[in-house]
Amino acid sequence: MAEADQPQLYLVTPPEFDLSSFPDKLSSVLDAAEIACMRLSLATRDEDRLLRAADVVREVAHRYDIALVIDTHVVLAQRLGLDGVHLTDGSRSVRAARKDLGPDAIVGAFCGSSRHDGMVAGEAGADYVAFGPLSGEALGDGTLADFEMFEWWSQMIEVPVVAEGGLTPELVAKLAPVTDFLSIGEEIWNTEDPAASLKSLISAML
């Protein structure tokens, strides 16, 4: 029965990609493993670029029957008919996003390494809370999210938790028992064969 406790996979797009070649690359990754949710996470703020990228990714996501959310842009999530939004400012925008998008949309919140912020986001209506990064260059105040926080959260809080940022096979193996989702993005897109890299990260759970 251990398999039932394994975290689901949450796939994040690269911050920049070629609109013509990315759908095939994305499809090969989706063929390699079962993905629970996808997130469009582009570095650009150019609305036209975001709209075109969303159209391309949504088409693939729907073909595989995978929910698609977008970073930050509540208005674009509504306009494009996406499944929800991933907020990057902790708990601050959760309540407003939930009000705008309605009860059925996915509203997720990235809360860095702040347990308190995560709890506030959950109380405000977040469907999941993401903590990270787990290794590498820490963002913001330089703090990494540690194993103990995920362990505590999984025991005490019902809101699903996502481990995000700098996942390695060792961290995947360690965090698998105490997280609901593993957010995987640059870990695979920066490699020669993203599908193979994804499989190798998944195998660390077994």
Give residue limits of the domains in the chain. 2-203
The identity of residue 97, as a single letter, is: A
- With cut-offs at 50, 70 and 90, classify the pLDDT of residue 143: confident
Instruction: Report CA dihedral (14, 16, 21, 26) to the nearest 10 degrees.
Output: 20
CA pair distance 130, 120, nearest whole angstrom? 13
State the pLDDT at residue 139. Answer: 54
- What's the pLDDT at 3? 41
State which amino acid sits at residue 53.
A
**2-203: which CATH topology?**
TIM Barrel (3.20.20)
Confidence of residue 1 (pLDDT cuts 50, 70, 90): very low
Q: CA 20 to CA 13: how far, in whole Å?
A: 15
Averaged confidence pLDDT in the chain = 94
Entry pTM: 0.94
Residue 168 and residue 135: Cα distance in Å, rounded? 8
